[in-house]
Amino acid sequence: MSTTLDTTFAALSDPTRRAILAMLLEDDMAVTDVAEPFAMSLAAISKHLTILTRAGLISQEKRGRVKWCKLEPDALRDATIWMQGFGQFEAVNLDAFERFLEEELGR
């Protein structure tokens, strides 16, 4: 579980990746739509998406010619269980996580 937690927290450590997760809370998105609001290349966004996918936080699926990204809602389960072990964190739910991300991004 330690490797999984390391991968999850490493993926969450980057503000661009957290912003991508916040966007995917709304709905599945094509990779090009994910990339649109960022001032970086599609290749750079693809690297971020690969990290999120390896961490299990999102999945990617090719539909025709378009690659789609989907948030994996159970991906934070191990991290949540680990944080609960400290007794000061409540279970993470997607609504609270969305509010957290919106505050982080200043929306």
pLDDT digits (tens, 9 = 90+) for 21-39: 999 998 999 999 999 999 9
Task: For tokens 């290749």, name the residue.
Answer: 43
Any idea what the CATH number is for the domain that residue 65 is in?
1.10.10.10
The answer to whether residue 27 is domain-embedded is yes
Residue 94: give the domain boundaries: 2-102
pLDDT digit string (tens) for 88-104?
Answer: 655 567 777 777 777 77
Where would I find the H helices in 27-63?
31-35, 42-54
In a domain, 107, yes or no: no
Edge-first strand listing for the sheet containing 29-30: 29-30, 66-71, 58-63
User: Between vectors from CA 99 to CA 95 and to CA 105, what angle results, nearest 5°?
Assistant: 140
What value does the mean pLDDT of the chain take? 87
Q: Enter the pTM of the model.
A: 0.76
Structural domains in the chain (count): 1
In a domain, 38, yes or no: yes
* 98 within some domain: yes
Which one, of 25, 12, 2, lies nearest residue 76 by Cα? 12
Evaluate whether residue 11 is within a structural domain: yes
